[in-house]
Amino acid sequence: MAVIIDGKQVAQKTREQLKKDVEQLKKEGIIPKLTVIMVGDNPASKVYVKQKSKACNDVGVEYEEYFLDTNTTQEELLALIDKLNNDKSVNGILLQSPLPAHLDISEAFRRIDYRKDVDGFHPMNVGKLVLGQDTFISCTPFGIMRLFEEYKIDLCGKNVVIIGRSNIVGKPLVQCCLNNNATVTICHSKTKDVKEAAKNADVVVAAIGKAKFVKADMIKEGAIVIDVGINRLDTGKLVGDVDFDAVLQKASYITPVPGGVGPMTVAMLMNNVVKAAKQQNK
């Protein structure tokens, strides 16, 4: 039976370390600050924003939010980003997605000063990740890498199969794994045979958004299984993209949902804010 990777505990440990870093920064007169911009009235976004504000509070990071009206124009959004880019007290800027359909999110992400892009979505930071340079890494893949580190899972030479190619999870995770000397395959909705690819993998990462997509017959004995998915069943229960109970019997390590990758995402956001504050005050 697999070891269940405890994301909650690793996230807590990460936050404890960050608290110490923040205390030290405060002694030097530096108060790390995150500003979150949300446009419109998306209930899921509100939940995520609340989690981020709580995490800031916990770690000692100053938190500020702008809730903009659904009818906000692109020009108004860009003007706010410009204002925050120029505000020396703001170290990190996070634009909560999704945006209302009339707004151009790519342009807005590009407008954020890449040195304050704590989500790691700016093309400059994505490019630096591809080149293997120090950068802000998208928080979910970064959290997964932190879990590998904590559980002493060395990716060197391992076959990693990532299912899902989104810009925020699958694609940056490819680079993270590659930078750690893994051999990486990425699958998506047009992949001919996902099962065949996954069955040969030492590590399978599921980031699809389909409940229980990864079944026990899709993985090899002793595989490491990372479940990024968050799906709510009709019963209200939260489940991942992996058929947890069955895969647990066959894998060597597995992340649960909830309590696996999820808590790491917010912890790594805090990590990026503290890093931004340090870099901007060097």
Which tokens belong to 280?
């901007």
Q: Which residue is nearest to ligand NAP (CB)?
A: 166
Distance CA 251, CA 197 (A): 16
When the beta carbons of 98 and 222 are compared against ligand NAP, the nearer one is 98
Catalytic residue among 6, 21, 52, 202: 52
Q: Looking at 119-127, 208-216, 218-226, 243-251, which segment touches ligand NAP (CB under 6 A)?
A: 208-216
Site string for ligand NAP, 186-205 (x = CB under 6 A): -xxxxx--x-----------
Shortest distance, CB of residue 44 to ligand NAP, whole angstroms? Answer: 9
Residue 267 touching ligand NAP (CB under 6 A): no
Residue type, 71: N
Q: Which two tokens stand for residue 262?
A: 């999820």
Whether 52 is catalytic: yes
Q: Which stretch binds ligand NAP (CB under 6 A): 68-76, 95-103, 182-190, 271-279?
A: 182-190
Using CB under 6 A, pick the residue from 209, 238, 246, 248 that binds ligand NAP: 209
- DSSP class per residue in the chain: -PEEP-HHHHHHHHHHHHHHHHHHHHHTT---EEEEEEES--HHHHHHHHHHHHHHHHHT-EEEEEEE-TT--HHHHHHHHHHHHH-TT--EEEEPSPPPTTS-HHHHHHHS-GGG-TTS-SHHHHHHHHTT-S----HHHHHHHHHHHHTT---TT-EEEEE---TTTHHHHHHHHHHTT-EEEEE-TT-S-HHHHHHT-SEEEE-S--TT-B-GGGS-TT-EEEE---EE-TTS-EE-SB-HHHHHHH-SEE--SSSSHHHHHHHHHHHHHHHHHHHHT-
The residue with tokens 């479940």 is: 227
- How far apart are CB 42 and ligand NAP at their closest, in Å? 13
Site for ligand NAP in 217-246 (CB under 6 A): 228-231
> Which residues inside 79-108 make contact with ligand NAP, applying CB under 6 A?
none
Catalytic residue among 6, 21, 33, 96: 96
Query: Of the candidates 99, 153, 207, 223, which one interacts with ligand NAP according to CB under 6 A?
Result: 207
Quick check: 208 binds ligand NAP (CB under 6 A)? Answer: yes
Q: Using the rule CB under 6 A, is 261 a contact of ligand NAP?
A: yes
Q: Which of 96, 265, 271, 272 binds ligand NAP (CB under 6 A)?
A: 265
Which two structure tokens, joined as six digits, stand for 204? Answer: 């399978």
**In terms of Cα–Cα distance, which of 233, 227, 213, 214 is closest to 258?**
227
Q: Could you tell me how many residues of this chain bind ligand NAP (CB under 6 A)? A: 25
Q: Of the listed pieces 78-86, 122-130, 181-189, 248-256, which binds ligand NAP according to CB under 6 A?
A: 181-189
- Taking a C-beta distance cutoff of 8 angstroms, is the pair 226, 204 a contact? yes
Site string for ligand NAP, 133-172 (x = CB under 6 A): -------x----------------------xxxx-xxx--
Active site residues: 52, 96, 119
Enumerate binding residues for ligand NAP (CB under 6 A). Answer: 140, 163-166, 168-170, 187-191, 194, 207-210, 228-231, 261-262, 265
